[in-house]
Amino acid sequence: MKEPVYYPVETPLGEMRVYIQDARPAFITLPGVAASGKAAEQPAPEEVSRLLSTVRSFFSGEEVTERYAGALIGSIAVTPFERAVLTEVTRIPRGETRSYGDIAVLSGYPRAARAVGNVMHDNPFPIVIPCHRVIKSDGSIGGYGGAEETKAWLLRFEGGKLER
């Protein structure tokens, strides 16, 4: 199997990376999150260029979820539950949050709040599929794959209110 390649994108938080497989986006890493692979030597394919531009647009203050997340969700292998959860998360407006329990109910799985947390943890496209907008029911931030400060920064950047 070929070593994965990535395209870096500079953000106010540091370098994020868009990894590709078969010339298509496979996943995005947050700054400081290690993944194997090497920087791509070829120009980015159109779909990857669009994703890089989308990440840059997010950090310019634009709402990017509506115009790109559906295609990404459609391009990855997920269960019906995961698809429902990821789709529901894309409906959270910039600057707002929902609890894990809210997402479970809105996705049609009212007893699956913990499972929603697992889907958020495994979200391959943070920022574009805005899992950072999902918080605990008590208003505290919850997890973010060990990057809770990044999650807090993203919520503040979007104008969201934090309990702690």
11: annotated active-site residue: no
- Helices 65-75, 80-89: axis angle to 10 degrees equals 170
Asked if 119 and 156 touch (Cβ cutoff 8 Å), the reply is no
Task: State in Å, rounded, how far the first CA of the chain is from the last one.
Answer: 45
SS3 119: helix
- Helices 80-89, 113-121: axis angle to 10 degrees equals 80
Question: Among positive and negative, which fits the CA dihedral 18, 73, 63, 147?
Answer: negative
Catalytic residue among 5, 18, 131, 134: 131
Positions annotated as catalytic residues are 131
